[in-house]
Amino acid sequence: MIPSVLYHCPCLSTSPVPPPPHLPSSSYCFHPLYTLFFCEECDAIRCNRCVSVEVSTYYCPNCLFEVPSASVRAEKNRCARNCFMCPICRNTLTVVASDPPDADAGRLSVPVSTVGEPPFYLYCNHCRWDSAEVGITFEKPTGLAAQLQKHEDSAPDSLEFDRLKEHFEPFIRSSLAASSAHPASTVHPSSAAHSHHLYSSSITAAASAALARDIPGVSKYTPLSRSTSGRGGRDRSVNKDEMPEYRSRMDITTASTIGTGGGEADVEFMKHIETINEVASLEQRWGSSWVTSLQTRDLKPLRIPLHSKRSKRCPVCTHILIKPEQKAQSVRYKIKLVAANYLPAITVALPHMYPTTETVKRALAKSSAAANDRLNAALHPGETYAFHLALTNPLYDPIQVRLATPRVHATNTSTANQEKSRRPPFGVSLPTSPFTVAAFAEAWEYDEDEDMYWTDEEDLGGGGGGGAKSVRDRDARTKSRTKAVGVLEKRANTTIVGGEIIIGKEARGRLMFIMLVQYTYRSDDPVPSESNEGEGNEVKGNTGKGPETKTFEFYTVVDLGEIEG
Amino acid sequence: MAPTRDKFTIHSKAVVCQDVELRGDITIGSGTIVHPKATIYAIVGPIVIGSNCIIEESVIIVNRRKEVMRIGDDNLFEIGCRVDSPTVGSFNTVSTRARIHHTVRISSYCIIGAGCLLAPAEDEVLDDYTVVYGPAAERRSWSGRGRVQEADLRRKHVDYLREMLPKFNRVRRGDGT
């Protein structure tokens, strides 16, 4: 288990203090740094759980065609061009021509430059499945989807689906009108402000109306909106009055005979299985939109499902946090406010977990108990371990960092005593005085820096470059013995600080603790933002003298791994 | 088990690069291409390779048995695969980094997918048109459609290599010449 640092996102909660990390229920609010966003307007961390998401483009991952959102629904979220997936192994299928007829069937003669001829068929390069096995061949190698369309449209499932759509059409239209009259405020109070934006398209409007509606016969469960029961009741009456009874195209009890799966036909098939390969696996079947046959030999090529590019907005100020470029080929972003560009990146390492060549040699030579202990990567109760925190500054200005380990449990008074007794008994000591992390500079600026070369060599060298490494390691070792807690090393825009953890005798489970990171940076705009109410993350710095500074604080969870008893 | 003497019989039309590790009694047929850094060990019994095969870089072919290991015609052994099987038919493809133990005999038109490991405890014969694919080395049977075009492509591949390889590599000759 590699030690890790996760960042806390308050997710609009009123208390900025994170829940105790050792509770399994707390996992929802701690995220790795690379998944987080940062809203400049609100000066707050945003995570994938609290942002509002919009689809900006639909595209086919195979042909990279951007599908207009109008036709996404008509094409049932799948590529309507020439992209097909192998029903056996999910590989992309290619169109190939048939072999010319064999002159002599016995010994295979290899003619020079054969030209394939129609009929064409789909062929999987990976598992050698081909569509001729299920009787699908094409007269010409273009417009395959159109050629297959007739096949698909005549399928009983598809016909039934169209009929259902037709049936619900008037209802969707009427509920759409209703939802535009009463904008649904059931999602979250804060999202109501920009609901006009969210429900701009008719698809989302219909979907949200459907989600907000109460289902007859199912008891209401609306944890987010407790005051909408009246509205729900009204909806239900609408439901009852306006829906005529739906009659299916065919009786479900007879459906199994036409290859839609289920029923007697499948039972009969399952009774006579000889090899497991005859049965289509779950992976092979659930990629299909319709119910497919249970038999592997009946599986049809699948149109490739579309992917989407999504842009995300801050839930409070509705400013865009991330917005990809419209083109499917492009992997760039028009707007990208990711937390990694604002918050210092923190990595944690346990130096005793990395035995160097030096320590290995020493262990072999002395074979003393102490050396063996050093090599052991596990954490044991009753021991003291040093750990290194490397902070990397992404900002173009140097920052002042202060670390602290707040006692989270002291705040909730009711269960404080109970919690304290259950808490894994360990003590963390961190450097208390603030330290600086140098500004980020573009890589070429410190290319000349020989310190950088040295580190590069060290990284690449591995076992080979043992000389410099072991010297440095011994250096670090003696340093850590004398001064385990404090700033250990400053290199480019990274500062490594050492901390120490004392594990109690009875400690068990994961060794995790909350660390509050406070950093002060030079602010560009002189006016302090007013949007920090409720967030509580931003503390205005000393405004009186010198350049304007700001302080931002956030919580992290440092996970050092499992304590082995 | 006395170690066999090195004896290489290489057809004059075969292209075997200089930087190839050969050991034991090996016969290489007409038009076969052996790329540099390939390894062919006939530890006990001899190895006979047919015509128009392609043996790519760092392929390892080993015969651990007493009887002759026969490899047919038009086989493709892709980079880094390892084949110990005592017989290999014709028109087979062994993909990159696949591994076949000496318990498996391969018929013709088989395709062993990239990275697949075939190591059954008991002797086994892969039928014609067997396809082994995926991380779990699943098997299915190929219909054989498109094999004429594939064979044609294989021929062109061999022709191209026969022309290009000697331009950039020293070529090894058999003991006879």
Q: What are phi and psi of A14, to 5 degrees?
A: -75, -30
- Model pLDDT, residue A492: 83
Three-state secondary structure call for residue B151: helix
Given a cut of 80, whether residue B64 has pLDDT beyond it is: yes
Among B134, B148, B156, select the one facing A100 at the smallest CB separation.
Answer: B148
Please tell me the distance from the alpha carbon of residue A546 to that of residue A123, in angstroms, as a whole number: 70
Residue B175 located in a structural domain: no
Mean pLDDT of A365-379: 53
pLDDT at B163 over 70: yes
pLDDT at A481 over 60: no
B134 domain-assigned: yes
Lowest mean pLDDT among A1-10, A285-294, B76-85: A285-294
Give the closest residue to A213 by CA, choosing from A184, A245, A255: A184
> Distance (Å) from the C-alpha of residue A93 to the closest C-alpha of chain B?
14
A392: which 2 tokens?
């990397």
Q: What mean pLDDT is predicted for residues B20-48?
A: 93
pLDDT of residue A176: 79
Q: Which residue has the tokens 């061999």?
A: B158
Q: pLDDT grade, residue B52 (50/70/90)?
A: very high
Give me the pLDDT at residue A242, please.
60
User: Residue A100's closest chain B neighbor by CA?
Assistant: B148
CB contact under 8 A, B152 and A111: yes
Identify the bridge partners of residue A330 per DSSP, sorted by sequence position: none
Q: pLDDT per residue over A430-476, tens digit each?
A: 888 888 898 888 765 555 544 444 443 334 433 443 344 444 444 44
**Whole-number Å distance between alpha carbons of A181 and A177:** 6
What residue of B is the nearest CA neighbor of A116?
Answer: B149
One-letter amino acid of A268: E
- Mean pLDDT of the B78-95 span: 94
Residue among A90, A104, A110, A299 with most chain B CBs within 10 A, to mutate: A110
> DSSP string covering A454-509, please?
HHHHHHHHTTTTHHHHHHHHHHHHHHHHH--SEEEEEETTEEEEEEEEEE-TT--E
Distance from C-alpha of A464 to C-alpha of B97, rounded to nearest angstrom: 28
pLDDT for A72 beyond 60: yes
- Could A128 and B139 be called an inter-chain contact, meaning their C-beta atoms sit closer than 8 Å? no
Partner-chain residue, chosen from B113, B131, B145, that has the shortest CB–CB distance to A98:
B145
Q: Which of A88, A97, A121 sits opposite B140 (nearest CB)?
A: A88
Give the lowest-confidence range in A25-29, A368-372, A487-491.
A368-372
Count how many Cα atoms sit within 13 Å of the Cα of residue A25 in the half-sphere of its side chain: 2
CB-based contact B149 A277, cutoff 8 Å: no
Nearest-angstrom CA–CA distance, A415 and A161 = 54
Query: Cα angle at A218 between A212 and A219, to 5 degrees?
Result: 85
Q: Where are the domains of chain A?
A: 1-33+342-365+377-410+424-442+483-525+547-564, 80-98+118-169+268-303
Q: Is the peptide bond before A119 cis (omega within 30 degrees of 0)?
A: yes
Q: What is the biggest distance separating any 2 CA atoms in chain A, rounded to whole angstroms?
A: 96
Task: Give the amino acid at B158.
Answer: V
- Which of A23-27, A177-181, B138-142 has the weakest average pLDDT? A177-181
Domain count, chain B: 1
Is there a domain that residue B126 lies in? Answer: yes
Q: Which amino acid is at A406?
A: P
Does residue A172 contact residue A205 with C-beta atoms inside 8 Å?
Answer: no
Whether residue A549 has pLDDT greater than 50: yes
CB atoms within 10 A of CB A36: 23
Residue in B131, B149, B151 closest to A128 by CB: B131
8 A C-beta contact, residue A428 and residue A471: no
Highest-confidence segment of A292-301, A423-432, B14-23: B14-23
A302 CA to chain B: closest CA distance, Å? 19
The residue whose two tokens read 């003291």 is A384
Q: Measured between alpha carbons, how far is A255 from A265 in angstroms, rounded to an integer?
A: 10
CB-closest option in A99, A113, A127 to B145: A99
A50 closest CA partner among A63, A34, A37, A41: A37
What fold does the segment set A1-33+342-365+377-410+424-442+483-525+547-564 form as a domain?
A: Immunoglobulin-like (2.60.40)
User: What gap in Å lies between CA B166 and CA B158, rounded to an integer?
Assistant: 13
C-alpha torsion sign, points A397, A400, A405, A411:
negative
DSSP per-residue string spanning A356-416:
-HHHHHHHHHH--HHHHHHH--SB-TT-EEEEEEEEE--SSS-EEEEEE---GGGTS-TTH
Q: Which residues of A135-156 are buried (b: 16+ CB within 10 A; e: fewer)?
A: ebebeebeebbeebeeebeebe
Chain B CB within 8 Å of residue A96 CB: yes
Say how many CB pairs under 8 Å bridge A and B: 62
**Nearest Cβ partner for A130 among B91, B133, B143:** B143
Q: What pTM, to 2 d.p., does this model score? A: 0.69
Q: Is A100:A319 a contact under the CB 8 Å cutoff?
A: no
User: Does A223 have pLDDT greater than 60?
Assistant: no
Q: Which residues contact A544 (CB under 8 A, 6 or more apart)?
A: none
The model's confidence at residue A308, banded by pLDDT at 50, 70 and 90, is very high
Residue A562 · residue A379 · CB < 8 Å: yes
Q: Do A132 and B145 touch (CB under 8 A)?
A: yes
pLDDT at residue B78 greater than cutoff 60:
yes
Pick the more confident residue, A526 or A208.
Answer: A208
Contacts of A146 (CB under 8 A, 6+ apart): none
Task: Supply the pLDDT for residue A112.
Answer: 59
Taking a C-beta distance cutoff of 8 angstroms, is the pair A455, A491 a contact? Answer: yes
Domain contains B145: yes
A277-286, A454-463, A491-500: range with lowest mean pLDDT = A454-463
More confident residue, A521 or A424: A521
pLDDT at A458: 39
Chain B: give the shortest CA distance to residue A133, in Å: 8
Say what the pLDDT of residue A138 is: 86
When the pLDDT of each residue in chain B is averaged and rounded to a whole number, the result is 91
What average pLDDT does the segment B21-49 reach? Answer: 93
- B145–A108 CB contact, under 8 Å: no
With an 8 Å Cβ cutoff, the interface of chain B facing chain A consists of 74, 91, 111, 113, 131, 133-134, 138-140, 142-143, 145-149, 151-152, 155-156
Mean pLDDT along residues B22-35:
93
Answer whether residue B154 is part of any domain. Answer: yes
Mean pLDDT lowest for which of A41-45, A207-211, A343-347, A373-377?
A373-377
Test B148 with A108 for CB contact under 8 angstroms: yes
* pLDDT for position B88: 94
Higher pLDDT, A254 or A345: A345
Average pLDDT over residues A373-385: 70
In a domain, B174, yes or no: no
Q: How far is A193 from chain B (nearest CA, A)?
A: 50
- Residue B2 belongs to some domain of the structure: no
Contacts of A113 in chain B (CB under 8 A): 152, 156
For residues A210-224, give the mean pLDDT.
55
Interacting residues of A21 by C-beta distance below 8 A, sequence separation 6+: A30, A512, A513, A514, A557, A559
Nearest to A203 by CA among A70, A66, A60: A70
Residue with tokens 């997710």, as numbered in its chain: A11
The region that residue A76 occupies, defined by phi over 0 for left and psi between -120 and 50 for alpha, beta otherwise, is left
Lowest mean pLDDT among A45-49, A110-114, A421-425, A533-537: A533-537
The enclosing domain of B137 has a CATH number of 2.160.10.10
Q: Which of A231-235, A505-509, B62-66, B158-162 has the lowest mean pLDDT?
A: A231-235
CA distances for A460 relative to A194, A443, A457, A469, B162, angstroms: 51, 18, 5, 11, 40
Interhelix angle A144-153/A156-181, rounded to 10 degrees, is: 90
Q: How far is CA A59 from CA A65, A67, A133, in A?
A: 5, 5, 30
The distance between the two most distant Cα atoms of chain B, rounded to a whole number of Å, is 46
pLDDT in tens, A242-271: 677 787 777 766 665 555 556 677 787 888
Residues of chain A contacting residue B74, judged by C-beta atoms under 8 Å apart: 110
Q: Determine contact: A277 vs chain B, CB below 8 A.
A: yes
The backbone torsions φ and ψ at residue A326, rounded to the nearest 5 degrees and listed phi first, read -60, -35
Region of poorest pLDDT, from A165-179, A220-234, A359-373: A220-234
Residue B90 resides in a domain: yes
- Give yes or no for residue A82 having a pLDDT over 50: yes
Tens digits of per-residue pLDDT, B106-116?
999 999 999 99
- What's the mean pLDDT when you consider all of chain A? 73
For β-strands B99-100 and B82-83, DSSP reports them as parallel
- Residue of A467 and A213 predicted with greater confidence: A213
Q: For residues A283 and B79, which has the higher predicted lDDT (pLDDT)?
A: B79
Cβ separation A133–B143 shorter than 8 A: yes
Between chains, do A99 and B148 touch, taking CB under 8 Å as contact? yes
Please say if the pLDDT value at position B72 is more than 90: yes
